[in-house]
Amino acid sequence: MVEGGSEKAFAQWLAERPQSFCEKVEAVAMDAFAGYKKAAARQVPHAVEILDPFHIVKRGCLIVCVWDHLIERKRSW
């Protein structure tokens, strides 16, 4: 976990690691924040980007809740 939660913080954290560390990074687990994706693509372009399970489930639940709300709203017309 990188403290700061921003593209700049993640990019800086990676930049502070030795080149040998960055070369060995195979995968980067992150949430769907575009800043993390940009920093990873710049600093460790060879690494596979993985959305962590918590955020996948959270996003899925949000989609289901919104869809359910829209269906209920349409039924009340």
Return the pLDDT at 55: 79
15-69 tens-digit pLDDT: 999 999 999 999 998 877 888 889 999 999 999 999 888 878 888 899 999 988 8
Q: What is the mean pLDDT of the chain?
A: 88
Return the pLDDT at 14: 92
Torsion-angle region of 48 (φ positive above 0: left; ψ -120 to 50: alpha; else: beta)? beta
* Pair of tokens at residue 26: 């195979």
Return the pLDDT at 72: 84
Helices (H), 1-77: 7-15, 19-24, 34-43, 53-75
Q: Evaluate whether 47 touches 27 at the Cβ level (below 8 Å).
A: yes
